[in-house]
């Protein structure tokens, strides 16, 4: 890597599996759920020296007008099971799973992430999402869902409890000492947590993996969601992939960190982005337009509009102007979708304004607001645009979402990554073993409200403690090997 480099570009890959973001009708599309597809895309990301591979989660199939939303690619297997399989066929790539904090219990989730971190040799991350959604909650005990105001109090307490569980073991608790006959230390795994949402105590069965705690990711958009990210997360996902909105989001979230005693580099902001690469900018633009039309067909366009308008618009021409009727604010036609659930009247106003300004048909509008690829052009154009975005603080990097599974990132990795490497903003090879190493994060955040630093002493419960390095908790015993070196390549 050259001596003078810009800010590091962090890259992650997502295998799409819950919304309508892939052109599944393209003959090159393969299964969204076969293990071969997961392996192929993960290996592509690792070949491109990406930081991590990411899986979103949808806990109920979305429904539109009471029918399963057939534009979605549905049928996703459970995330942590998939990532455990991928741990065996990758060696350095981080493995990030979305798991909902509203419908689960801390003990079980902490155990599963401790296991993934151990199996993978310190590569686990948890995208902590919330849902207030009664529609999704019907799948769970007692209806599962929460009033909106309680989502993040539960999520924050969930995380506090999980951290206590991970900290309930110290590195020398597993003794297996034949001389004394002691297998584990007397205090190993003991925990207590009492709070508004959880009142639990006992013994945690699972020693944590090399990272101690998985990397914590957050992806809520609201003010409370941003505050949760600032206090507790190490990565935040966003949907802001247009430069002005992205910079505003970036400034806003980074500015919130100081209140928790954290520095701007303690939290990375990674918008999701689509990429289209071709030999020339013109060819890429033509291909991107084709992809957009593949993603937003006439029916999709009307369904998207109906999701916001809350009324039947099937009589309108998708290639004609927006409906002259106003939205019906009370009746959701699309259930299980977090994006349109609030501010539908305001969204409709903004969409109408945009359509009028640019003279867009319904279908063109839906493409404009949701079906556009973020980076389109020749390999050089795409590399320059990504680099510029990061150097000008629109983002710390991107979660790339391919429009084709599993081959949709091949061109990016083969043709754009080498240019980013040449620019010195992307690693030539992994130099650290854990996901925290790849992200340039050396320790878990220790916000002031958690009581500041201080690692748990055996049997104690002080804060959520410092993160264990690769040699802690039984060493680098994961499936994927690593060298344990730090990988702080980011420079100012
Ligand atoms: C980029 C991004 C990705 C998200 N991924 C998921 C997901 O995989 N599963 C999920 O249930 N919610 C997901 N969410 C939804 C959020 O976790 C959250 O529930 C939603 O944005 C509402 O929270 P808010 O009111 O703070 O915005 C995602 C949100 C964003 C912005």
Place of tokens 């009708």: 25
pLDDT at 194 over 80: yes
Pocket of ligand 1 contains residue 218 by CB under 6 Å:
no
pLDDT digits (tens, 9 = 90+) for 155-167: 999 999 999 999 9
The Cα 81–Cα 15 span in angstroms is 15
Ligand 1 site, residue 104, Cβ cutoff 6 A: no
Average pLDDT on 145-153 reads: 84
In this prediction the ipTM stands at 0.96
Pocket test of ligand 1: the residue of 76, 159, 216, 221 to mutate, having most ligand atoms within 8 Å of its CB, is 221
Mean residue pLDDT across the chain: 85
Which protein residue has the closest C-alpha to ligand 1 atom 12?
129
Is the previous residue joined to 406 through a cis bond, with omega within 30 degrees of 0? yes
Poorest-confidence range of 26-35, 37-46, 247-256, 436-445?
A: 436-445
The CB of 57 under 6 Å from ligand 1? The reply is yes
Q: How many angstroms is it from 219 CA to the middle of ligand 1?
A: 5
Residue 304's pLDDT is 87
The sign of the CA dihedral 378, 239, 197, 448 is positive
* Mean predicted confidence (pLDDT) in 229-252: 93
The pTM for the full model equals 0.88
CATH, domain range 10-274+374-450: 3.20.20.30
- Average of per-residue pLDDT across 295-303: 88
Higher pLDDT, 329 or 141: 141
Residue 185 has pLDDT above 60, yes or no: yes
Mean pLDDT of 128-132: 87
pLDDT of 18 reads 72
Q: With pLDDT > 70 as the criterion, what percentage of the chain qualifies?
A: 85
How far away, in angstroms, is 397 Cα from ligand 1 center? 18
DSSP 8-state secondary structure symbol assigned to residue 323: P
How high is the pLDDT of residue 118? Answer: 96
- Helices (H) and strands (E) counted in the chain, each on its own, are 15, 17
Q: Are strands 63-64 and 67-68 parallel, antiparallel or unpaired?
A: antiparallel
What distance in Å separates the CA atoms of residue 361 and residue 318, rounded to the nearest whole number? 7
* pLDDT at 464 (0 to 100): 33
CA 65 to chain centre: 29
Each domain of the chain, given as residue ranges in start order, spans 10-274+374-450, 282-371
How many angstroms separate the alpha carbon of residue 130 from the centre of ligand 1?
7
Residue 142, phi-psi category: left (phi > 0), alpha (psi -120 to 50), beta (remainder): left
Question: 442 Cβ partners below 8 Å, 6+ apart?
Answer: 436, 467, 486, 488
Output the residue whose Cα is nearest ligand 1's atom 27: 221
Cβ proximity of 453 and 141 under 8 Å: no
Q: What is the pLDDT of residue 167?
A: 95
Confidence tier at 445 by pLDDT (50, 70, 90): very low
* pLDDT for 387 beyond 70: yes
- Which residue minimizes the CA distance to atom 3 of ligand 1? 219
Ligand 1 atom 25: residue of nearest CA = 222
pLDDT for the residue numbered 331 = 63
Greatest extent of the chain over all pairs of C-alpha atoms, in Å: 83
């Amino acid at each position: 890597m050259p001596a003078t480099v810009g800010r590091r570009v962090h890259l992650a890959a997502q295998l799409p599996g819950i919304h309508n973001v892939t052109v599944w009708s393209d003959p090159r599309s393969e299964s969204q759920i076969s293990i071969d597809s997961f392996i192929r895309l993960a290996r592509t990301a690792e070949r491109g020296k990406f930081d991590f591979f990411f899986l979103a989660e949808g806990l109920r199939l979305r429904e539109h007008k009471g029918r399963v939303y057939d534009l979605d690619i549905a049928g996703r297997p459970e995330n942590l099971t998939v990532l455990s399989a991928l741990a065996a066929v990758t060696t350095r790539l981080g493995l990030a799973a979305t798991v909902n904090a509203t419908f689960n219990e801390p003990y079980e989730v902490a155990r599963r992430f401790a296991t993934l971190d151990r199996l993978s040799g310190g590569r686990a991350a948890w995208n902590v999402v919330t849902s207030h959604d009664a529609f999704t909650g019907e799948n769970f005990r007692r209806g599962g869902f929460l009033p909106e105001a309680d989502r993040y109090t539960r999520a924050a307490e969930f995380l506090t409890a999980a951290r206590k569980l991970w900290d309930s073991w110290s590195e020398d608790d597993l003794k297996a000492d034949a001389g004394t006959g002691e297998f584990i230390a007397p205090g190993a795994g003991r925990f207590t947590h009492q709070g508004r949402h959880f009142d639990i105590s006992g013994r945690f069965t699972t020693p944590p993996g090399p990272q101690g705690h998985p990397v914590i990711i957050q992806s809520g958009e609201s003010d409370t969601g941003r505050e949760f990210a600032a206090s507790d997360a190490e990565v935040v996902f966003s949907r802001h992939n247009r430069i002005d909105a992205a910079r505003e989001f970036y400034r806003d979230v980074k500015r919130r960190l100081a209140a928790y005693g954290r520095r701007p580099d303690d939290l990375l902001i990674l918008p999701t982005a689509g990429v289209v690469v071709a030999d020339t900018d013109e060819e890429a633009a033509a291909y991107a337009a084709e992809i957009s039309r593949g993603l937003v067909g006439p029916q999709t366009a009307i369904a998207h509009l109906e999701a916001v308008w809350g009324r039947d618009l099937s009589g309108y021409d998708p290639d004609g102007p927006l409906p002259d009727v106003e939205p019906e604010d009370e009746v959701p036609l699309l259930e299980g979708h977090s994006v349109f659930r609030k501010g539908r009247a305001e969204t409709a106003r903004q969409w109408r304004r945009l359509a009028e300004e640019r003279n867009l048909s319904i279908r063109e509008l839906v493409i404009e607001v949701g079906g556009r690829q973020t980076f389109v052009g020749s390999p050089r154009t795409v590399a320059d645009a990504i680099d510029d975005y990061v150097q000008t603080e629109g983002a710390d990097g991107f979660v790339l979402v391919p429009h084709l599974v599993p081959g949709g990132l091949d061109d990016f990795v083969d043709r754009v990554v080498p240019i980013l490497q040449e620019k010195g903003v992307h690693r030539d090879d992994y130099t650290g073993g854990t996901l925290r190493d790849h992200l340039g994060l050396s320790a878990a955040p220790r916000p002031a409200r958690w009581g500041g630093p201080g690692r748990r002493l055996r049997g104690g419960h002080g804060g959520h403690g410092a993160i264990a390095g690769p040699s802690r908790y039984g060493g680098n015993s994961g499936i994927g090997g690593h060298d344990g070196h730090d990988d702080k390549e980011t420079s100012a």
